[in-house]
């Protein structure tokens, strides 16, 4: 077996296995690579590298760190993962017939997508891939199309969100073996689910980060909020880019993931002619063509920048979609009334309507929170290129007490939020347990083995919330109880209001998949014309027409008849209008459990959904 490691400034590199040291030879051509042919039997108990006689360090491309970030590296080859899950992965189960009639659905796999974000360690009591695999039937029954796993790159200790990973090529050992991860992905595919992975390419965690000891992986020309910036555009940056792009391709090729969610790309600085994001998108498209599969890249960004999803020929990066936080912020502000921090930028029902129509609320106007202009118009951005959520790991876990909306709002409000999210023109994302109004918090938790670092993280966490008026002491991320409290309680699922809410989510998802996605055109028209929204701030109502469905929301504490005519108003103030009569709209769902009628008064805090004409119902 040939081993290779990049160490451009080293004078010597040795392979360390047990008490044995073996020299690697520099690769000709001045690439900075060192290599050696090694019998696999020598590597059975693990290996490290020593540069210039220094302390041995894990392999930067280690495929398995069973003893953690400071332990020995282990070899994993694709055959160790079982039958290659990258080949033959199926599209979502219910899309088969429509795929025959509409091949573009494979060209745009996010067009029909409903994403479900989960954290392996808290999704089940056991916190393993194997246990998560046992919950696949629940995800299928719910009706989602894509499972999105929070980061898996090995991070310090056993507990954590995964955003401080340091061994990018090695799945976190506390969740199970690499083979068990591949089995989970394969089981999802067998059930008709695609699988996405959250990856972090804007920084590495501080504990166990040995990359800087090997070469110029980092730069002091830029800084991130989480530590040293990765060197994507300075001297020796080509091998650094290859390191990251090869990592992305490994997850997609060897484990069978169908796409990646790129964490905080606004913290990736790459200013040369071809951005690392564009280069990554090109490499992923090439791998997809090789495998005969459509792979996707979804960026997290708070910039409201359409260039992320524009093709390179149009001055963009060519990514498939990006998270759009304005949708969350507008909804959260409207329903909770919170005005702290970034919620100060949002103000009531008008912003909810703007988010539903256009995705971006901020399109270049002044942001009081940022104290500067923010965003630009989403020209040319299709609806399926924006991922929206009312809840996700950030927006729950970055609250002092980790409260979900189910811990802050009433069931009628939760049902309204579910309908706004799932019937919007964009790609909806749910967070684990949201579908039944889980009452367990999702807190920030860590397990740093370095006591000084752990104390600093806990203190920094407390300072982080100074811009918010949240009550109560911030739970210590290092305490095991903080992690245990964040685990889902699956016994809630069949109980009372939890079961009612779960049934509501299932029905909304079925309506979306049977109606909304059957009516989305292929013109690439911007999202602003894909939904018709009317609202009245004073009366407290909103109507949303999209893809063959009409959703009517009464946010008032009094019953009222809401004007529901098609095309009614593009702004505030209720224009007169008659309710839809005859066969044009058919009532199909009401949040208070009553049989929905066309011309009846809408109960207080109620949501009602209508389907157009002969469209498919539940």
pLDDT in tens, 162-192: 999 999 999 999 999 999 999 999 999 999 9
DSSP 321-366: EEE-HHHHHHHHHHHH---SGGGGG--SHHHHHHHHHHS-S-SSSE
Of the ranges 57-66, 401-410, 523-532, which one carries the lowest mean pLDDT score? 523-532
State the Cα–Cα distance between residues 129 and 170, nearest whole angstrom.
Answer: 15
Band of pLDDT at residue 317, cut at 50, 70 and 90: very high
Contact 155, 69 (CB under 8 A): yes
Band of pLDDT at residue 469, cut at 50, 70 and 90: low
Of the ranges 77-91, 279-293, 306-320, which one carries the lowest mean pLDDT score? 77-91
Q: What share of the chain in percent tops pLDDT 90?
A: 78
pLDDT for 50 beyond 60: yes
Asked about 300 being catalytic, the answer comes back as yes
pLDDT for 573 beyond 90: no
Residue 81 per-residue DSSP state: G
Element (H, E) at 261: strand 259-262
CA end-to-end distance (rounded Å), the chain: 57
DSSP 514-554: IIITTS--SS---GGGS-EEEEETTTTEEEEEETTEEEEEE
Band of pLDDT at residue 98, cut at 50, 70 and 90: very low
Contact 192, 480 (CB under 8 A): no
> Residue range 140-161: average pLDDT?
98
Band of pLDDT at residue 208, cut at 50, 70 and 90: very high
Helix H segments across 159-275? 178-190, 211-214, 237-254
Contact 394, 330 (CB under 8 A): no
pLDDT for 107 beyond 70: no
Residue 585 per-residue DSSP state: E
Band of pLDDT at residue 6, cut at 50, 70 and 90: very high
pLDDT for 102 beyond 50: no
In the chain, domain spans: 2-81, 529-612
DSSP bridge pairs for 198: 261
600: left (phi over 0), alpha (psi -120 to 50) or beta: beta
Residue 166: its pLDDT value, please? 97
Residue 422: its pLDDT value, please? 98
Q: Residue 5: what are its φ and ψ, rounded to 5°?
A: -145, 145
pLDDT for 90 beyond 90: no
Of the ranges 107-121, 347-361, 592-606, which one carries the lowest mean pLDDT score? 592-606
- Most confidently modeled range among 267-271, 596-600, 614-618: 267-271
Give the CATH number of domain 529-612; options: 3.10.20.30, 2.60.40.1180, 3.40.50.300, 2.40.70.10.
2.60.40.1180
Cα 441 to chain centroid, rounded = 18
Band of pLDDT at residue 415, cut at 50, 70 and 90: very high
pLDDT for 595 beyond 70: no
Catalytic choice (300, 302, 305, 435):
300
Element (H, E) at 590: strand 585-590
Residue 543: its pLDDT value, please? 96
192: left (phi over 0), alpha (psi -120 to 50) or beta: left
State the Cα–Cα distance between residues 530 and 516, nearest whole angstrom.
Answer: 11
> Residue range 330-347: average pLDDT?
95
CATH number at 2-81: 2.60.40.10
User: Which residue pairs from 236-239 have beta carbons closer than 8 angstroms and sit at least 24 positions apart in sequence?
Assistant: 236/8, 236/32, 239/6, 239/8, 239/31, 239/32, 239/215
Residue 287: its pLDDT value, please? 98
Cα distances (angstroms) measured from residue 267 to each of 213, 222, 453: 23, 9, 23
pLDDT for 525 beyond 50: no
126: buried, middle or exposed (CB in 10 Å: 19+, 13-18, 0-12)?
A: middle
Helix H segments across 465-495? 480-485
Band of pLDDT at residue 470, cut at 50, 70 and 90: low
| C-alpha neighbours within 13 Å on the C-beta side of residue 488 | 25
DSSP 37-80: E--GGGGTT-BEEEETT---B--TT-S--TT-TTS-B----GGG
Residue 301: its pLDDT value, please? 95
Contact 184, 234 (CB under 8 A): no
> Residue range 593-617: average pLDDT?
75
pLDDT for 433 beyond 50: yes
More confidently predicted of 43 and 615:
43
Closest of 462, 588, 482, 432 to residue 116, by C-alpha: 432
State the Cα–Cα distance between residues 152 and 535, nearest whole angstrom.
Answer: 43
Residue 593: its pLDDT value, please? 78
More confidently predicted of 511 and 106:
511
pLDDT tens per residue across span 477-488:
999 999 999 999
Q: What is the mean pLDDT of the chain?
A: 89
Residue 617: its pLDDT value, please? 43
Band of pLDDT at residue 584, cut at 50, 70 and 90: confident
State the Cα–Cα distance between residues 335 and 510, nearest whole angstrom.
Answer: 25
Q: Is the dihedral of CA 125, 128, 130, 134 positive or negative?
A: positive
More confidently predicted of 85 and 266:
266
pLDDT for 219 beyond 60: yes
Contact 146, 258 (CB under 8 A): yes
Residue 598: its pLDDT value, please? 60
Cα 426 to chain centroid, rounded = 14
Residue 513 per-residue DSSP state: I
Band of pLDDT at residue 582, cut at 50, 70 and 90: very low
Closest of 272, 251, 293, 274 to residue 109, by C-alpha: 293
Q: Residue 571: what are its φ and ψ, rounded to 5°?
A: -155, -160
pLDDT tens per residue across span 248-293:
999 999 999 999 999 999 999 999 999 999 999 999 999 999 999 9
Q: Do domains 2-81 and 529-612 have the same CATH topology?
A: yes
Residue 266: its pLDDT value, please? 94
Catalytic choice (148, 263, 325, 326):
263
Q: What share of the chain in percent tops pLDDT 70?
A: 87
* Residues contacting residue 15 through CB under 8 Å, at least 6 positions apart: 3, 21, 22, 23, 24, 36, 38, 47, 48, 49
Asked about 263 being catalytic, the answer comes back as yes
Residue 530: its pLDDT value, please? 67
> Residue range 204-231: average pLDDT?
93
């Amino acid at each position: 077996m040939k081993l290779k490691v990049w160490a451009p400034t080293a004078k010597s590199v040795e392979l360390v296995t047990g008490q044995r040291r073996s020299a690697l030879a520099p690769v000709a051509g001045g690439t900075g690579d060192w290599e050696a042919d090694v019998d696999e039997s020598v590597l059975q108990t693990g290996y490290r590298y020593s540069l210039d006689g220094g302390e041995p360090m894990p392999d930067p491309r280690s495929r398995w760190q069973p003893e953690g970030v400071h332990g020995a590296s282990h070899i994993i080859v694709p055959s160790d993962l079982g039958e290659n899950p990258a080949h033959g992965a199926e599209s979502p189960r219910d899309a088969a017939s429509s795929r025959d009639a509409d091949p573009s659905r494979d060209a745009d796999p996010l067009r029909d997508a409903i994403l479900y974000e989960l954290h392996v360690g808290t999704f089940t009591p056991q916190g393993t891939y194997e246990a998560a695999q046992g919950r696949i039937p629940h995800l299928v029954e719910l009706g989602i199309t894509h499972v999105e796993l929070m980061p898996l790159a090995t991070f310090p200790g056993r507990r954590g969100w995964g955003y401080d990973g340091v061994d990018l090529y090695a799945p976190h050992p506390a969740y199970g073996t690499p083979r068990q991860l591949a089995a989970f992905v394969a089981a999802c595919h067998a059930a008709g689910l695609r699988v996405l992975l959250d990856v972090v390419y804007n920084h590495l965690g501080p504990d166990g980060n040995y990359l800087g000891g090997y070469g110029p992986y980092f730069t002091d020309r830029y800084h991130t909020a989480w530590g040293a910036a990765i060197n994507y555009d300075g001297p020796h940056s080509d091998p650094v880019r290859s390191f990251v792009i090869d990592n992305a391709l490994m997850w997609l090729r060897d484990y069978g993931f169908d796409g990646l969610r790129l964490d905080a790309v606004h913290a990736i600085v790459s200013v040369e002619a071809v951005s690392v994001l564009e280069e990554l998108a090109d490499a992923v498209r090439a791998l997809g063509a090789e495998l005969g599969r459509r792979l996707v890249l979804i960026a997290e960004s708070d910039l409201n920048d359409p260039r992320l999803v524009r093709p390179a020929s149009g001055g963009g990066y060519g990514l498939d979609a990006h998270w759009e936080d304005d949708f969350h912020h507008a909804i959260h502000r409207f329903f909770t009334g919170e005005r702290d921090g970034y919620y100060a930028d949002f103000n009531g029902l008008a912003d909810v309507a703007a988010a539903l129509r256009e995705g971006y609320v901020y399109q270049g106007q002044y942001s009081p929170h940022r104290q500067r202009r923010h965003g630009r118009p989403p020209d040319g951005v299709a609806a399926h290129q924006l991922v929206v959520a009312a809840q996700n790991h950030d927006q729950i876990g970055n609250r002092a007490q980790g409260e979900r909306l189910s811990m802050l709002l009433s069931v009628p409000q939760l049902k309204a939020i579910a309908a706004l999210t799932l019937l919007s023109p964009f790609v909806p994302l749910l967070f684990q347990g949201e579908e039944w109004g889980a009452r367990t918090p999702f807190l920030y938790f860590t397990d740093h083995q370095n006591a000084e670092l752990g104390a600093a993280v806990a203190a920094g966490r407390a300072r982080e919330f100074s811009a918010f008026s949240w009550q109560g002491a911030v739970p210590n991320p290092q305490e095991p109880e903080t992690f245990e409290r964040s685990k889902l309680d699956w016994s809630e699922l069949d109980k009372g209001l939890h079961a009612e809410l779960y049934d509501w989510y299932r029905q909304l998802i079925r309506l979306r998949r049977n109606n909304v996605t059957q009516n989305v055109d292929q013109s690439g028209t911007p999202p602003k014309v894909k939904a018709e929204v009317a609202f009245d701030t004073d009366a407290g109502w909103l109507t949303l027409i999209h893809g063959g469905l009409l959703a009517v929301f009464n946010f008032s504490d009094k019953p009222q008849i809401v004007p529901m005519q098609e095309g009614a108003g593009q702004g505030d103030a209720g224009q007169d209008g008659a309710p839809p009569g005859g066969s044009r709209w058919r009532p199909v769902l009401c949040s208070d459990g009553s049989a929905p009628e066309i011309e009846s008064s809408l109960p207080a805090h109620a949501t009602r959904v209508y389907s157009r004409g002969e469209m498919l119902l539940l």
